[in-house]
Amino acid sequence: MASEAPDLIAKARAFQPQLKARAAEIEAGRQLPDDIARGFADAGFYRLCVPREAGGLEIDPLTLSQVIETIAYGDASAGWCVMIGSTTGLCAAYVPTADAAAIFGQPHSIVAGVFAPRGRADDMGDHYMVRGRWQWGSGSPNAQYIMGGAVIHRDGQPVLMENGAPVSRMMIARKEDVTLHDNWQVAGLSGTGSQDFSFDNLRIEKKMSVGLITDRPLKRPLYAFPVFGLLAAGVASVMLGIGRRAIDELVHLAREKTPEGHRRPLAQRSRTQEDVAAAEASLGAARAYLHQAIGEAYGAAQRDGKIGMDDRARLRMAASHAARVAINVTDAMHLLAGGSAVYASSPFQRLLRDVHVASQHMMVGTPTFELAGRVILGVEADLSQL
């Protein structure tokens, strides 16, 4: 797998010029253009987490993070769609190989999904009848399959786990059987196509469902990785790509711009030099900490076949920290850019909006620090989503 990493990252980097050039088109269209989504599929980006025997690449988590960050540098919405599509591929490790290959492993397969159990699935014996409506369906316009989390009901009552929480499963449906709602008019990440979708009493075979908490995946290092931890790292990777782009755009602007009322170019002002250096150091440190946490967790998975709570907590802390730093860096570069940043043609205004919308994802929200802190302090907590 290590030998594939440079090739995959190089493929991601090759998309950057196109993504930069088409950023306004992506944003105006409110979804990825089909040719870009197909290009990502051809490059294997949607199959990064799919088992090899099912047609996937089953790449290591650090390479996954770097691919997502590299794409997000070119365009945050594109990076977000790759993040969602690739991590959704983890579900392929929970279903029979033949079904995984048919759904997730085809060269042009794109699967979108929302874990939140906003749906209801009535157990009918050999199948479920599913209804519900989900928000944040990122990448769904380009997908062939769409997944939604649903609480299992039997005889009219929710099925409960031992801890009293309801049992939920991800239900897999063909896109043509799903209703997409054109309501994705937002401030940032506009090109992700993250509109609502709904299942209207769909008949879902039981083998077309995945229990990320109750089922057991293939026993290999990638699938010992916590699903929510990997998703959090993916969100943080998108935001790191945004922060990196913000610094680079400011450096380019600073060499050319002389602010109104000043004689020296922006690059020659001490405030600019100090803030750019601080941003470079803080972003690099946050990125290094995230990569270290990913590496340590994956090392445990390779060595022990499982990842302990300390490593899980560290991964979530590192992801949430990277998200915070990316926000601060992007804000600082936007401020340094001055009036140049307010124009719609400027990348700074889009970077600012994108990073703040990305920060709203629950996987990198403030409560993750509280949860990680409980682990550090030895305080009792619900760790089912750590």
pLDDT, tens digit, for every residue of 341-363?
A: 999 899 999 999 999 999 999 99
Q: What is the predicted pLDDT for the residue at 263? A: 66
Residues 239 and 369 grouped into a single domain: yes
Q: Please write the tens of the pLDDT for every residue from 121-136.
A: 999 999 999 999 999 9
Considering only 247-261, 294-308, 351-365, which range has the smallest mean pLDDT? 247-261
Q: Is 218 contained in some domain?
A: no
Choose among 178, 191, 194: nearest CA to 137. Answer: 194
* Rounded Cα–Cα distance for residues 384 and 386 (Å): 6
Q: What is the predicted pLDDT for the residue at 262? A: 61
Q: Which of the listed residues 47, 73, 103 is the one where a domain comes to its end?
A: 103
Range(s) of the domain holding residue 152: 111-210
pLDDT at 6 over 80: no
CA distances from 172 to 93, 128, 361 (A): 14, 11, 22
Residue 86: enclosing H or E segment and its boundaries?
A: helix 76-88
Q: Which of the listed residues 103, 126, 157 is the one where a domain comes to its end?
A: 103
Cβ within 8 Å of residue 36, ≥6 positions away: 15, 18, 19, 22, 26, 78
Q: Is 354 contained in some domain?
A: yes
Long-range contacts of 14-22 (CB under 8 A, 24+ apart): 15/39, 15/40, 15/43, 15/71, 15/74, 15/78, 16/70, 16/71, 16/73, 16/74, 17/74, 18/74, 19/71, 19/74, 19/75, 19/78, 20/74, 20/75, 20/347, 22/75
Whether the CA torsion 242, 32, 190, 175 is positive or negative: it is negative
**Cα dihedral 295→296→300→306 (10° resolution):** -90
- Cβ(204)–Cβ(171) under 8 Å? yes
Residues 6 and 99 grouped into a single domain: yes
Q: Which of the listed residues 184, 210, 236 is the one where a domain comes to its end?
A: 210
Residues 16 and 152 grouped into a single domain: no
pLDDT at 275 over 60: yes
Q: What is the predicted pLDDT for the residue at 261? A: 53
**Mean pLDDT of all residues in 300-323:** 96
Q: Is 343 contained in some domain?
A: yes
Residues 191 and 253 grouped into a single domain: no
Q: What is the predicted pLDDT for the residue at 205? A: 95
Q: What is the predicted pLDDT for the residue at 260? A: 61
Looking at the chain, the whole-number percentage of residues with pLDDT higher than 70 is 97
Instruction: Give the 3-state DSSP-derived string for 9-45, with helices as H, strands as E and coil as C.
Output: HHHHHHCHHHHHHCHHHHHHHCCCCHHHHHHHHHHCH
* Rounded Cα–Cα distance for residues 323 and 242 (Å): 10
- Cβ(247)–Cβ(334) under 8 Å? no
Q: What is the predicted pLDDT for the residue at 12? A: 98
Q: Please write the tens of the pLDDT for every residue from 74-103.
A: 999 999 999 999 999 999 999 999 999 999
pLDDT at 49 over 70: yes
Choose among 156, 163, 16: nearest CA to 75. Answer: 16
Structure tokens at 7: 């090739």
**pLDDT category of residue 265 using cuts at 50, 70 and 90:** confident
Q: What is the predicted pLDDT for the residue at 382? A: 78
- Cβ(310)–Cβ(386) under 8 Å? no
- Cβ(354)–Cβ(79) under 8 Å? no
**Mean pLDDT of all residues in 289-293:** 98
| Tally of structural domains, the chain | 3
Give the 3-state secondary structure of residue 204.
Answer: strand
Q: Is 383 contained in some domain?
A: no
Residues 99 and 115 grouped into a single domain: no
**pLDDT category of residue 221 using cuts at 50, 70 and 90:** very high
Residues 356 and 231 grouped into a single domain: yes
Which of the 8 DSSP states describes residue 50?
S
Choose among 238, 140, 192, 197: nearest CA to 30. Answer: 192
Residues 247 and 346 grouped into a single domain: yes
Residues 252 and 373 grouped into a single domain: yes
